[in-house]
Amino acid sequence: MDKLLIQGGKRLSGEIAISGAKNAALPILCAGLLTAGDLELSNVPHLHDVATMLKLLGQTGLQVKQDGERVTLNGSAITRLEAPYEMVKTMRASILVLGPLLARFGEAKVSLPGGCAIGSRPVDQHIKGLQALGAEISIEGGYIYAKCKKLKGTRIVTDMITVTGTENLLMAATLAEGETILENAAREPEVTDLAHLLVAMGAKIEGIGTDRLVIQGVPELHGAKHAVISDRIEAATFLCAVAAAGGDITLRNTRTDIMDAALDKLREMGLEMTIGDNWIRAQMNRRPTPVSFRTTEYPGFPTDMQAQFMAVNTVADGASRVTETIFENRFMHVQEMNRLGAAIETDGNTAFIKGVEQLIGAPVMATDLRASASLVIAALAARGETLVDRIYHLDRGYDRMEVKLSAVGADIRRIK
């Protein structure tokens, strides 16, 4: 299993190009199931989760051609309407094939995802929404069996805001008969990016970017070209790295208009930023000011940045409080950060952090994707050597993070 060896205490300096967003790429790849035409995608990030999704889609009969960050999909010969347990258990986003397969072929068999490290993460809202669209759904032997003659448009109000739930229902509704209204829809930029692709494929969607999506079903969708939106979480992760370790870096290929919550908090921390249309220059020459926040749905503070900001707070000049409201078990980085000398206590879904002057390197264990990124940030700020184990989590969602960090002067090495 690969590990990362990091010698902390180096200032970061130079440029980093941000990749396409994982959480936009995954649903967008699944949209390839909705059409017999060619989907020509660019800015697809080089990630383990993308490889897993392409493997799963390939098993359905979707043809996949990949050339670096370009991926072309063709769905004219899909034969297997299934996502098996072996795939779904390694990546929950596999559930995103359910809506497209059912809407286009009238049938799908998808394994129920189990629990996961950050919380129980049920998919009841995906199922409830598809049932409202007229699907017959049963659960047997750990699988969701879904069937329909033709999905029929209706009004769906989800019990909570769900990102992949909205994406699944949106994709299904594009091929349903008549009008579907999705109330309480997720407004995350990755949902919006998927909606723009669907419109390019011939879907009729109003209210894009709002919590009320109105979809007029069409009989079929056609091929399209699309560039995946820039990864706001990857960009903000590197900004946290410079906030914690100090330095002067410029990020390229960013979308700063979708990062307000994170940028506001980084400014409060003392990160000096100059912001262009698609770039950010960030400078940090002092100890960070602590920031307190609660995670919420977009446009609020993203749960996917909670751990990385906590890493900066561990070395900040004072105390802070972080409340996680989206997932019930997303504090597993806390014990690992405390191994590096951080002073964090938790009470339920709130963490209380007392900034320390200096973290000290130690062996730590990554537990999930964003927790791994937070440990890398803490290690960059720490004195001495940190060995981060189980970095396969990091490879799922960050495009060659250690290569990008080495290029800006971090002392970070992958050990096979």
Q: Is 59 annotated as a binding residue?
A: no
401 conformational bin, left if phi > 0, alpha if psi -120 to 50, beta if neither = alpha
Report in angstroms how near the CB of residue 234 gets to ligand EPU at its nearest. 10
Q: Which of 114, 122, 178, 276 binds ligand EPU (CB under 6 A)?
A: 122
Instruction: Give the C-alpha separation, 349 to 326, whole Å.
Output: 10
121 binds ligand EPU, rule: CB under 6 A: yes
48 binds ligand EPU, rule: CB under 6 A: no
Q: Which of 99, 100, 165, 223 binds ligand EPU (CB under 6 A)?
A: 165
**What is each CA distance from 408 to 36, 167, 238, 384, in whole angstroms?**
43, 36, 10, 18
94 binds ligand EPU, rule: CB under 6 A: no
| Contact present, 201 and 172 (Cβ < 8 Å) | no
> What one-letter code names the amino acid at 144?
I
Instruction: Give the C-alpha separation, 33 to 39, whole Å.
Output: 10
Please identify, among the stretches 160-168, 205-213, 270-278, 346-354, the one whose residues bind ligand EPU according to the rule CB under 6 A: 160-168
303 binds ligand EPU, rule: CB under 6 A: yes
Q: Is 23 annotated as a binding residue?
A: yes
Among residue numbers 241 through 280, which ones bind ligand EPU (CB under 6 A)? none
> What one-letter code names the amino acid at 268?
E
391 binds ligand EPU, rule: CB under 6 A: no
Q: Which of 84, 119, 209, 363 binds ligand EPU (CB under 6 A)?
A: 119
First to last CA, the chain: 7
Q: Which of 123, 371, 382, 412 binds ligand EPU (CB under 6 A)?
A: 123
Q: Which of 77, 157, 160, 319 binds ligand EPU (CB under 6 A)?
A: 160
Q: Which is nearer to ligand EPU, 38 or 297 (CB)?
A: 297
| Contact present, 401 and 19 (Cβ < 8 Å) | no
Binding track, positions 6-45, relative to ligand EPU; x by CB under 6 A? ----------------xx--x-------------------
Report in angstroms how near the CB of residue 220 gets to ligand EPU at its nearest. 26
Q: Is 253 annotated as a binding residue?
A: no
Looking only at Cα atoms, what is the longest distance across the chain? 64
Q: Which of 33, 369, 378, 401 binds ligand EPU (CB under 6 A)?
A: 369
Report in angstroms how near the CB of residue 195 gets to ligand EPU at its nearest. 14
DSSP letters spanning 336-399:
HHHHTT-EEEEETTEEEEE--S--B--EEE--SHHHHHHHHHHHHHSBSEEEEE-THHHHHHSS
Give residues with Cβ within 8 angstroms of 122, minimum separation 6: none
Binding track, positions 190-229, relative to ligand EPU; x by CB under 6 A? ----------------------------------------
Instruction: Dihedral sign for Cα 89, 94, 162, 25, please.
Output: positive
Tell how far CA 264 is from the center of its chain. Answer: 20
Catalytic residue among 30, 116, 148, 240: 116
Give residues with Cβ within 8 angstroms of 273, minimum separation 6: 239, 263, 266, 267, 280, 281, 282, 283
Instruction: Give the C-alpha separation, 96 to 54, whole Å.
Output: 12
Q: Which of 10, 104, 126, 265 binds ligand EPU (CB under 6 A)?
A: 126
**What is each CA distance from 249 to 253, 310, 404, in whole angstroms?**
13, 21, 11
Binding footprint of ligand EPU, residue count (CB under 6 A):
23
148 annotated active-site = no
Q: Is 326 annotated as a binding residue?
A: yes
Q: Is 92 annotated as a binding residue?
A: yes
Q: Kindly list the catalytic residues.
A: 116
Which positions lie near ligand EPU, rule CB under 6 A? 22-23, 26, 93, 119, 121-126, 160, 162-165, 303-304, 326-327, 369-370, 397
